[in-house]
Amino acid sequence: MGISLFERTFTMSLFFIVFILITLTNSCYCSRKLTSLYEPPPMSLSYHNGPLLEGDVHVSILWYGQFTPPQQSIVSDFLLSLNPTHSSSSSPQPSVSKWWNLVQTYMKRAGKKETDIVLSNQTSDKNYSLGKILKKSHITELANKVINNSRPGGLTIVLTDKEVAVEGFCMSNCGFHGSNSKQNSAFIWVGNSVTQCPGQCAWPFHQPIYGPQTTPLGAPNGDVGVDGMVVNIAGLLAGTATNPFGNGYYAGSMEVGSVCTGVYGKGAYPGYAGELLVDSSSGASYNAVGVNRRKYLLPALFDPLTSQCLTIV
């Protein structure tokens, strides 16, 4: 799904339009649809016997445009935090790796190895080699450049900066995922929405464009655009790992990372993120702690054991 898998949205009523990830084509494009109404979780996500991203998954990041070192570290630290070797019983809880453990549940149910995210390499395209107005095919082209230079079975994350407009961005999606079947590799794209559509793709760190204008939550790393990107990356990453080629876990248009869009803590409902932890020094909201004690807000994932949205706080 895009996010192929995370895209957010709200309605004029109490039922905001929220992100859902959908399978768009045979190449496994999925996206969070801004025009889709909130739907309650289905009874189950069925496994369709296809390959999953199991074992050591080497992840490459392509930074397209201008990203500062602090912005890059927010994302890279999140990916590093998924690996339980970076966590210990003495680390602050709840941990990012605890959130990722639910993805491992799906792997075990399919008889697969656990998925260990390994941050492999990072490259930058600061000069906008394909311009600042991109089609989805351009994202595929950028991802394939990295995939062709990487080991098979890996994952590429293409991140575009706030100046880049991507086909469908804000109007229909906040990100998507796809695949390169020849290389047995997958990719994710997410854009920085801070100047284009923060009310759609960076909620709950910005007021929604529709509905009651409640006070937005404080971004855990002080960057509305990049903290919003992490939310979308997280949801798409869960969906990509469990449905990389369109024949893994899904139910209709739903994937592991899109069923519970808009849910972050207990008691959540459309337009309300739920009960969360609050940083006493900054007032920012979060629900997971990663390496370097960095805080994140991560979406709830669908629990196959209880058929409910599982939050870690």
Choice among 83-92, 99-108, 156-165 with the minimum mean pLDDT: 83-92
Q: Is residue 129 classed exposed, middle or buried when 0-12, 13-18 and 19+ CB atoms within 10 A define those classes?
A: exposed
Higher pLDDT, 6 or 249: 249
Residues 39-64: pLDDT tens digits? 555 558 999 999 999 999 999 999 99
Per-residue pLDDT band for 19 (boundaries 50, 70, 90) equals very low
Q: What are phi and psi of 178, to 5 degrees?
A: -150, -165
| 24 contacts 2 by C-beta, under 8 angstroms | yes
The overall pTM is greater than 0.85:
yes
CA-wise closest residue to 132 among 196, 82, 197, 79: 196
Residues 105-137: pLDDT tens digits? 999 999 999 999 999 999 999 999 999 999 999
Report whether pLDDT(18) > 50: no
| 257 contacts 237 by C-beta, under 8 angstroms | yes
- List of E strands, 181-300: 185-191, 249-250, 277-278, 285-286, 288-289, 295-296
| 227 contacts 204 by C-beta, under 8 angstroms | no
Q: Where are the alpha helices (DSSP H) in 185-288?
A: 198-201, 224-242
* C-alpha 62, offset from chain centre: 16
Residues 146-183: pLDDT tens digits? 987 666 678 999 999 999 999 999 988 999 999 987 77
Q: Give the CA dihedral 126, 130, 135, 137, nearest 10 degrees.
A: -100
SS3 71: helix
311 CB-near residues (< 8 Å, 6+ apart): 263, 264, 265, 266, 268, 274, 287, 300
Paired tokens of 215: 């006070």
**pLDDT for 30:** 61
